[in-house]
Amino acid sequence: MLSMFPIGLPWPTVMYLVLYIVTLIIHVVFMNYVLAGSWYLVSISLFERRTADQLPSLVAGTLREWLPFMLSAAITAGIAPLLFVQILYKRNFYTANLLLFHRWMAILPVLIVAFYLLYIWKAKRVQAWPRLITFPLGLLTFSGFAFIAWSWTENHLLSINPGAWAEHYADGDMMYRSREVLPRLAVWFAGSFPTLALVLGWQLWYLQRDVPDEETVGRHRMSLLALSGLITAAIAVALYGVALPPEVREAVTGSMGWPYVFLAGCGWGVQFASWLQIRRSPRLEKIWLATASAGLLMTLVGVAMIREIIRWFRLDGNALFPLHEQSAGVGGLPLFLVFFVVNAALVAYCIIRVRRGLAAGASAS
């Protein structure tokens, strides 16, 4: 394949790829919030200044308040890409699941424990606990999500390496060892901080929209999170590039993938510049948050496409095309589109209804 990915692929494959990537990006936004947010909880538990009334800072309080919902949203949003990945790469995905077996299934209890821990973090009395307790609690919460991220990374890498399957099965190994695991995981982890900073930044902007400049908080902290995440992610990307086999690297930087490398790079630059501006501004400015959002979207699209190019380069596409065509032949797409629009509208209506209800309540009181 010499043309830009996915040009030249059959339409069913392109359709499922687009759906997969769009839904994956939505999932990733929530997932990044949770992964980086749970790490932030660890640092809060160590360094957060305690006030006499034990009230958390606005940043910490917002994070604690929203993390359970974000995890719920991440799980719900994750169902769609989990569905489309089974259409696109059925055999690879299932085989990797089976090969990692206990390790893979351990995700479920770990996720349940981590989820409940996030609710525990919300409790006011927990915020009064000594650091000797809150730090291990934070570490445990983060470790849960880190374990899940590590498991997904190994699962993905194993799924795109069919040559390793028989040996891996025979060994009964619960871990897949590859030089790509750590740098790839590092890309995800570092890349989650700019997303957290942006979403949390928007939340703080909304909460402080009527507060005078000198009293707003979060600008410094959010830009620090985002900029450090962007720099670390860039280093991790370089390391990952070195860990990739040369032919895969060439595919990414060649005609198949260079537009996406360019897109992701531009997005990185836009984000970096936006966060520098936010750092210099007196408060979280809407305009710079908007440009950072555009930059993040460009980076996420670019990275998601590069991820697929790496996978696609290692798989036999010709064997997959007939399966995608067969799947596209079953009915139901119009129904999905109808309900997607209807339920998206109802989701929007819920939010509008609540805002109106709260506004009415506030004016009445």
Partner 1 sequence: MDFPYYPINDFGPLMKGLVIGALGILHVFLAQFAIGGGMLMCYFQWLASSGRCAPARQFIDGFFKFLVLVSFILGAITGVGMWFTSIQISPRTIGMMVGDFHWVWAVEWTFFCLEIVAGYCFYRYGTRLDDAARMTLLVLYAVAAWGSLFWINGILSWQLTPGRWLETHSIWDGFFNPSFWPSLLYRTLVSMTIAALVACVVINAMPRFDRERRTILIHRAAHFLLPMIFMPVLGVWYLMSWPAESRAWVTGGSPAMSMFLAIGVGSSLLVGAYALFAIWWGKLYINGATATLLCALALAATAGGEFVREGARKPFTVRDVLYSNSILPGEIAQLRQVGSVSEDPFPLRDAADYPTQRLQLGAKVFRLQCSICHTMRGVNGLVELTGSWSDDQRRLMIAQLQRTKPFMPPFSGSAVELESLVQLIAWEAAGRPPGATDATLDAETLARIQNWLDEAGTLPASGHSQN
Sites of contact with partner 1 (CB under 8 A): 69, 72-73, 75-80, 82-84, 86-87, 90-91, 94-95, 97-99, 101, 104-105, 107-108, 111-112, 115-116, 119, 165-166, 169-170, 172, 323, 326-327, 330-333, 335-336, 339-340, 342-344, 346-347, 349-351, 353-354, 356-358, 360-361
d(CA 350, CA 92) in angstroms, rounded, equals 39
CA distance 113 to 185: 22
For residues 72 and 79, the answer to whether their CB atoms sit within 8 Å is no
Smaller CB separation from partner 1, 136 or 357: 357
Nearest approach in angstroms of CB 81 to partner 1 is 10
Nearer to partner 1, 30 or 260 (CB): 30
Q: Which CB, 166 or 290, lies closer to partner 1?
A: 166
| Least Å from the CB of residue 319 to partner 1 | 9
The angle, 0 to 180 degrees and rounded to 10, between the axes of the packed helices 11-47 and 286-314 is 120
Instruction: Give the nearest distance from C-beta 107 to partner 1 in angstroms.
Output: 7
Q: How far is CA 69 from CA 14, 33, 62, 225, in A?
A: 32, 11, 11, 21
CB closer to partner 1 out of 78 and 183: 78
Between 48 and 173, name the residue whose CB sits nearer to partner 1. 173
Determine contact, residues 31/74, Cβ cutoff 8 Å.
yes
Picking from 171, 40, 165, the residue whose alpha carbon sits closest to that of residue 96 is 165
State the greatest distance between any 2 C-alpha atoms of the chain, in Å, as a whole number. 69
Per-residue DSSP letter, 49: P
What is the closest distance, in whole angstroms, from the C-beta atom of residue 278 to partner 1 in the complex? 28
Q: How far is the CB of 19 from partner 1 (least distance, A)?
A: 8
- Min. distance of Cβ 301 from partner 1 in angstroms? 21
Nearer of residues 7 and 337 to partner 1, judged by Cβ: 337
Least distance from C-beta 228 to partner 1, angstroms? 31
Q: Which two tokens stand for residue 248?
A: 């895969």
Q: Least separation, in Å, of the C-beta of 27 and partner 1? A: 11
User: How far does CA 55 lie from the centroid of its chain?
Assistant: 29
Q: Based on CB atoms, which residue is closest to partner 1, 246 or 329?
A: 329
Q: Count of residues for the chain?
A: 365
Question: How many Å separate Cα 357 from the centre of its chain?
Answer: 32
Closer CB to partner 1, residue 27 or residue 221? 27
The residue written with tokens 């936010």 in the block is: 278
Q: What residue type is assigned to position 231 of the chain?
A: I
Decide: 36 and 193 in contact? Cβ < 8 Å: yes
In whole angstroms, give the CA distance from residue 297 to residue 327: 29
